[in-house]
């Protein structure tokens, strides 16, 4: 698969939910397993929004709009490439969440997939706007401000019975 080095823009192909009327978004939890099965880490990205000085930086999962010309898992893999610079293989969806957009007066419908990382790129479309960091599933939950992403991370940890590992900081 050749990596596209430009993130998609615009809403022409955006899917909207019949249930909520808001955008349909797809995200993923990029993960890797340590040598010999020793521990699992998840890849989180920095938000484009800046927090208050002195606060530990909030993190999130790669996610974005699900478009008409792609399957749900293709959208998850595209977002992982664009926002986190990783390629991988998706597993079965972790679930569906409806959440209120902080920016728009709409309720979004979101889906999250586990994504086993097979390649971590040195350059990716949003590398100038985001940092990425491997952390334990618990640290990702502790630092993520979005309740639905925290629930997805908990389901991920529960489904795969993954132990936590030491983490590095953004």
Find where tokens 């909520």 sit: 20
In the chain, % of residues over pLDDT 70: 81
CB-count exposure of residue 21 (10 Å: 0-12, 13-18, 19+): exposed
- Residue 141 pLDDT > 70: yes
Reading the block at residue 110, the tokens are: 């979101």
Domain annotation covers residue 71? yes
CATH number at residue 155: 3.90.79.10
> What is the number of structural domains in the chain?
1
Domain annotation covers residue 33? yes
pLDDT at 108: 94
* Cα separation of the two ends of the chain: 28
23 phi, psi to nearest 5 deg: -60, 150
104 pLDDT tier (thresholds 50, 70, 90): confident
The arithmetic mean of pLDDT across residues 95-104, rounded, is: 89
d(CA 58, CA 41): 17
Domain annotation covers residue 170? no
pLDDT at 170: 41
- Residue 58 pLDDT > 60: yes
Range of the domain at 146: 24-48+57-160
Rg (CA), the chain: 15
């Amino acid at each position: 698969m050749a990596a596209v080095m430009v993130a998609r823009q615009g809403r022409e192909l955006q899917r909207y939910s019949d249930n909520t009327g808001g955008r349909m978004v797809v995200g993923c939890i990029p993960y890797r397993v340590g040598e010999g099965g020793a521990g699992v880490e998840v890849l989180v990205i920095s938000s484009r929004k800046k927090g208050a000085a002195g606060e530990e930086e909030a993190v999130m999962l790669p996610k974005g709009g699900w478009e008409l010309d792609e399957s749900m898992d293709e959208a998850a893999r595209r977002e992982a490439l664009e926002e986190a610079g990783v390629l991988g293989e998706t597993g079965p969806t972790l679930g569906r969440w409806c959440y209120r957009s902080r920016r728009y007066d709409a309720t979004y419908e979101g889906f999250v997939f586990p994504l086993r990382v097979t390649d971590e790129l040195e350059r990716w479309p949003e590398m100038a706007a985001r940092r990425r960091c491997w952390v334990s599933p618990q640290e990702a939950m502790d630092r993520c401000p979005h309740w639905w992403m925290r629930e997805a991370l908990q389901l991920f940890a529960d489904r795969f019975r993954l132990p936590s590992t030491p983490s590095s900081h953004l």
